[in-house]
Amino acid sequence: MKAADVITSLEGAGWVEVRQAGSHKQFKHPTNPNVVTVPVHGSRDLPIGTLKSIERKSGLTLRP
């Protein structure tokens, strides 16, 4: 899964980008205390461990 797809899913669920440090974007949600970091490295797919971490912190299911 590409970083752009993950970002679209997060923003659709109410997550808002709060900062960016280089190629890493950080998102916060009004009711979820976690901060989710998404590495954006061009059109490369995100590693499965990174996707699992994003799912765990956000509470979303991103993988089919």
CATH top class, domain 3-58: alpha beta
Q: What pLDDT is attached to residue 64?
A: 77
Supply angle C-alpha 52, 22, 27, rounded to 5.
45
Q: Which amino acid is at 59?
A: G
Using alpha carbons only, how large is the chain's radius of gyration in Å? 11
Q: Is 49 helix (H, G, I), strand (E, B) or coil?
A: helix
> Of 41, 47, 44, nearest to 23 (Cα)?
41
For the record, the structure tokens of 1 come out as 């899964």
pLDDT in tens, the chain (64 residues): 999 999 999 999 999 999 999 999 999 999 999 999 999 999 999 999 999 999 999 999 998 7
pTM for this entry: 0.92
Tell me phi and psi for residue 56, to 5 degrees: -65, -45
Q: What pLDDT is attached to residue 6?
A: 97
The domain spans of the chain are 3-58
